[in-house]
Structure 1
């Protein structure tokens, strides 16, 4: 069965990965369920999708429905689920979901059910209402199940942390200023909107810029007057500058799909430093690597080097002679997934409150000169998200700041 984005029997298109990993870090369980149900519906070309999670401890059902015929999403919560103590919960799946909303009210067509476990939930599943038989042996279904499990587990864990913080009185007010030790997290919604704008604007601007560059080159061939040649060269130079800027915007908006492999973290980091050696020496900054030779990450080599290069260059712009950058990493486990926690620490001047708010926004003009200008940090966020990881920033208590990268250590298991 085909859909607008691809074929159900093939691999999940990259566009869906970008959409789903824009949810990382998870904002809320309802937002994850809503986007997941939409993606399931589109990717399988189903008539409707009913996705739900039952939290065992409080018997709370959180669910979302997307109907392709109505192009409409609906999310809801139910707190009064009745379960039989004599039967395993997994055997009562249909009963649980029916108590949220009758399946007959969603669709009259045949449907398939897929279940996948979450750390904090006994039941997390999807009813796919489709006239075509679907199984988890189909690559798209297998990938959707894997992505859904990861995103729902993270959303449930985040809600549990927020609930614990609220009970202890440690949850900050929404407008409270960031203090030392608090993380600065990119706004996925804002960056996705900027990416869509950059993609559209970049395409429209590229055409006239190409025309200007072409005409300038044609006129330079026949122009002999030195003053006019200088003027034409200036016009051409500025046009090339626009072209390069648009190229950056397009890479941020639509980067190439990563082709990850297992990379030795120490070796890849050293190669990046070697490529930046001249700039590091000119800045008079000391860069130290504290990485074990055994550490590895699952990454596209070129894209990993783009991320690390941008983070180092970001620090070099504000550091003074004698300042330091330190790169370290350690392995950790998150939701049963092995992750590499990479730190890039500098002892620069840190950030103002306004800069904290807009740190990952492209071209925020009020930043310190050089700190994150252009699409450097935005591209970092995009690339890391496409790899299934996340990035955060933190202002250090003494001096400078730290970028935290949470990067997968291994690829998805078959």
Structure 2
């Protein structure tokens, strides 16, 4: 774009060019992308513009959407976003943007997609909803992308230096794999060592009960036995988290398995007077061990049910997602529960931790979900809702991977 004389040749109107560069120094990444979305909408004549930025380190997602008929852009920012298995940065950004603002609901105009690499593994994604293009449109877009990239790079550099302030409206909670693997090793070793003496206690209690006639002594022995069984069940949970059986996956109907789990939890649903909204297309399927998949779904729903007040609502929805590793299902379980304290956020997927006193029973439930998901090549994450409650996200293979062994 520079000529031999050093002047800058631009196909953008001079006022727009000055407006873009006036954003430097930037106030924040959020305000910058909102202004960029406004400029793109004005210059390209699009019915709507959707612009998103995905940073890798630290993992952050920011986006802004603007309709031509409106003056103010709506925005979203998430400080931590999950890594989707086998996805490129473009696919990951596309999925996050579609989740924040569904493309199908933005406009009935065709969407033109553009991607641009920015500073330090950051990706800019852009969707222009426009019915037609005029001569020179691609050249205009190329120039706008170039300038947008430079402006965003400045905003990103400022954010890194601490001069940019970005307001957080939502944050993803992703399992700490290293910590969970260390806990799994401990649980496996400790479970094996504790199981042996517990089995001995249970055996001796049963033997003594056969010959004991004194009511008080029988009651004492029964209490000992009951507590020993409780320890055994806890060890069973620990071992299932640490060393679950190898899955035997098959193609399952997503809607049918969800119906089965809801039937099994009907008593808890009725007791909590919780409203359930299920939005699952009958055509959707997933590739999973049926028993283990139902364990995951049951624990996610129980976790939400225990956090709900009477009359609250839980929403279950799913959508297909294409990745380089093949098709996935993105399942969401959204509750209107009590949400999470900062401590609960830190320990959400940890075994041995329970926030039941706060209304959200954790224990081994979510750690088992993580373990089963990873064995299936799936990803699990949570997100605190902007108003109240928590959304759990599952990204699960929809079919048998090409490199899997039958």
3-state SS in 2 of match to 1:181? coil
- Provide the rounded CA distance (Å) in 2 between the counterparts of 1:404 and 1:217: 45
Q: Is the 8 A contact 2:348 2:362 kept in 1?
A: no
Give the Å deviation of 1:369: 3.8
Unaligned runs of 5+ in 1: 1-26, 29-149
Q: Is the 8 A contact 1:162 1:171 kept in 2?
A: no
1:313 is aligned to: 302
- Provide the rounded CA distance (Å) in 2 between the counterparts of 1:274 and 1:367: 24
Larger radius of gyration: 2
Are residues 1:164 and 2:122 paired? yes
- Provide the rounded CA distance (Å) in 1 between the counterparts of 2:262 and 2:315: 12
Give the Å deviation of 1:172: 11
1:14 is aligned to: none
Aligned equivalent of 1:331, options 316, 320, 324: 320
1:352 is aligned to: 341
Aligned equivalent of 1:271, options 252, 260, 274: 260
Q: In structure 2, do the counterparts of structure 1 residues 353 and 362 end up closer, same or farther at CA, with 3 Å as the change threshold?
A: same
- Provide the rounded CA distance (Å) in 1 between the counterparts of 2:184 and 2:281: 36
Which runs of at least 4 in structure 1 moved beyond 4 Å after TM superposition?
150-154, 156-162, 170-173, 176-179, 365-368
3-state SS in 2 of match to 1:249? helix
**How much is the aligned-residue C-alpha RMSD, in angstroms?**
3.0
Are residues 1:258 and 2:247 paired? yes
Q: In structure 2, do the counterparts of structure 1 residues 319 and 269 end up closer, same or farther at CA, with 3 Å as the change threshold?
A: same
- Greater mean deviation of Cα atoms: 178-187 or 209-218: 178-187
Give the Å deviation of 1:365: 4.5
How many residues are aligned here?
265
Give the Å deviation of 1:181: 2.1
Give the Å deviation of 1:330: 0.3
2:383 is aligned to: 394
Q: In structure 2, do the counterparts of structure 1 residues 327 and 365 end up closer, same or farther at CA, with 3 Å as the change threshold?
A: closer
- Provide the rounded CA distance (Å) in 1 between the counterparts of 2:212 and 2:161: 65
3-state SS in 2 of match to 1:349? coil
- What TM-score does the superposition give when structure 1 sets the normalisation length? 0.59
Q: List aligned pairs for 1:357-372, cutoff 5 A.
A: 357-365=346-354, 368-369=357-358, 371-372=360-361
3-state SS in 1 of match to 2:319? strand
Q: Is the 8 A contact 1:331 1:339 kept in 2?
A: yes
1:203 is aligned to: 192
Are residues 1:410 and 2:368 paired? no
- What TM-score does the superposition give when structure 2 sets the normalisation length? 0.60
2:221 is aligned to: 232
- Provide the rounded CA distance (Å) in 1 between the counterparts of 2:401 and 2:281: 24
